[in-house]
């Protein structure tokens, strides 16, 4: 039973509605915080990889309008003339600055008007209705997770802007060394995916049984210090460790280290939200592509885990530590932008899985060796453009969320995906190896 199911079971639909209303307020406060900047900052495109921040802001409102107001509430479109502007598939990110987008003030007014009507729909909707969009408040979970995902995208844009002073920071628990750096996961059958998490996406379903041979997996994500050994050993100059496509990417782009790293004499520095600071050796490495993660693993005599291996290491729970929601208990994971960085390796021993694998949730998204493919028995819901159109051998799967991921938008079954060259996301990795 998930925390959400407990709310619904113990307090009934009224209790769930109260929680949804509170979560909607919290996510909107987060979105407005990240866009509390001068207009030039919001309308400028800081990288062709990302939309202007003002596009993300209006897009989350348009998404709410489409799914809550029109699909569930039966309300006539408020601004049908802007639908095409905020259709994520209509225009690539690099072209969005040239569109007649809503300005910052107009975007805030629009999303506020949508949200007021969304709360009216929430007040009157029957969450026990068997309709899959209404049942258990699924449509509200859909828009909540969607907005939090765009908030994380906004953070990536802010990092790319290299502008200081826009993102808060905070304290994190200290790390601790691992007596045993690897954990053995025995051979056997486990259940992958879910049929029970109320707000899970279609690509997480259905639950299905899988057999995996025994393997070893790193207790913690690979740290900056460990990755630096690969860099200093000439890892970016040695094609032995790279797949052909990865080596071509390295040579074409002159890649020499993780994104935002620079070297000054014997010291490596990084840019973190406009601040230049020495690279901390005990934090999980982030801003590395799948190709970099794969090359490091080969150099280390290991490999990346498959997403099935990653999920099995979580121990078959909604979260590695159990079923309790991480939103209010910071001792388990570094989530929800408590600090604008990963926590040191070993900082969350209470969040370990039953096998003893730590920091599977939070800190950095973890690249896996798997392509983004549908599970056996997959059924598309509620629209093809969320998952189905991305299936194939183009996108690599990432698991676990990052420090920037909100607790309601991550769990052990949650699947993220991206191109193997992407580095602006808050992504790292851990290694695995097969039994000898």
Binding site per annotation, positions for Fe cation: 59, 146, 150
Q: What is the DSSP code (8-state) at residue 12?
A: H
The CA-CA-CA angle for residues 35, 38, 39, to 5°, reads 90
Cα Rg of the chain, angstroms: 21
CA distances from 117 to 103, 110, 113, 121, 248 (A): 21, 11, 7, 6, 51
Q: Which segments are annotated as binding site for gamma-L-glutamyl-L-cysteine? A: 93-96, 418, 422
Q: Which segments are annotated as binding site? A: 59, 93-96, 146, 150, 418, 422
Q: What is the DSSP code (8-state) at residue 184?
A: E
The per-residue DSSP string of 247-307 comes to: HHHHHHHT--SSTTEEEETTEEEEEETTEEEEPPTTSBP-S--HHHHHHHHHHTT-BPPPH
Closest residue by Cα to residue 250 from 214, 291, 285, 218:
291
Task: Give the C-alpha separation, 340 to 310, whole Å.
Answer: 25
Task: Give the C-alpha separation, 158 to 46, whole Å.
Answer: 8
Task: Give the C-alpha separation, 288 to 262, whole Å.
Answer: 14
> Among positive and negative, which fits the CA dihedral 99, 102, 107, 111?
negative
Q: Is 312 helix (H, G, I), strand (E, B) or coil?
A: helix
């Amino acid at each position: 039973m998930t925390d959400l199911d407990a709310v619904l079971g113990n307090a009934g639909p009224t209790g769930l509605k109260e929680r949804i209303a509170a979560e909607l307020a919290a996510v909107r406060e987060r979105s407005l915080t990240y866009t509390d900047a001068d207009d030039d900052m919001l309308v400028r495109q800081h990288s062709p990889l990302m939309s202007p921040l003002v596009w993300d802001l209006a897009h989350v409102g348009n998404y709410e309008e489409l799914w809550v107001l029109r699909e569930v509430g039966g309300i006539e479109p408020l601004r049908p003339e802007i639908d095409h502007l905020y259709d994520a598939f209509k225009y690539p990110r690099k072209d969005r600055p040239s569109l007649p987008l809503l300005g910052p003030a107009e975007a805030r007014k629009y999303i506020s008007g949508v949200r007021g009507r969304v709360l009216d729909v929430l007040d009157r909707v029957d969450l026990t209705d068997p309709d899959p969009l209404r049942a258990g408040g699924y449509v509200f979970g859909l828009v909540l997770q969607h907005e939090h995902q765009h908030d994380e995208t906004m953070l990536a844009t802010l990092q790319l802007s290299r502008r200081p002073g826009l993102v808060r920071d905070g304290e994190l628990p200290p790390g601790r060394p691992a007596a045993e750096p690897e954990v053995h996961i025995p051979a056997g059958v486990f259940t992958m995916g879910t049929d029970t998490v109320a707000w899970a996406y279609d690509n997480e379903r259905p639950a299905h049984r899988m057999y995996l041979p025994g393997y070893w997996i790193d207790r913690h994500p690979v740290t900056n210090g460990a990755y630096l050994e690969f860099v200093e050993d000439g890892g970016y100059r040695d094609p032995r460790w790279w797949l052909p496509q990865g080596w071509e990417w390295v040579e074409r782009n002159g890649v020499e280290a993780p994104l935002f790293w620079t070297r000054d004499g014997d010291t490596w520095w990084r840019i973190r939200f406009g601040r230049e600071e020495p690279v901390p050796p005990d934090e999980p490495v982030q801003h590395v592509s799948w190709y970099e993660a794969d090359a490091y693993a080969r150099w280390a005599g290991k490999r990346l885990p498959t997403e099935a291996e990653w999920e099995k290491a979580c121990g078959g729970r909604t979260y590695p530590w159990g079923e309790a929601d991480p939103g209010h208990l910071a001792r388990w994971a570094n989530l929800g932008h408590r600090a604008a960085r990963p926590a040191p390796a070993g900082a969350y021993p209470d969040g370990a899985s039953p096998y003893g694998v730590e920091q599977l949730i939070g800190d950095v998204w973890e690249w896996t060796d798997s392509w983004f493919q549908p599970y056996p028995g997959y059924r598309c819901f509620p629209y093809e453009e969320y998952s189905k159109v991305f299936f194939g051998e183009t996108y690599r799967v990432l698991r676990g969320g990052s420090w920037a991921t909100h607790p309601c938008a991550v769990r052990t079954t949650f699947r993220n995906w991206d191109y193997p060259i992407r580095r602006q996301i808050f992504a790292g990795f851990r290694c695995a190896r097969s039994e000898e």
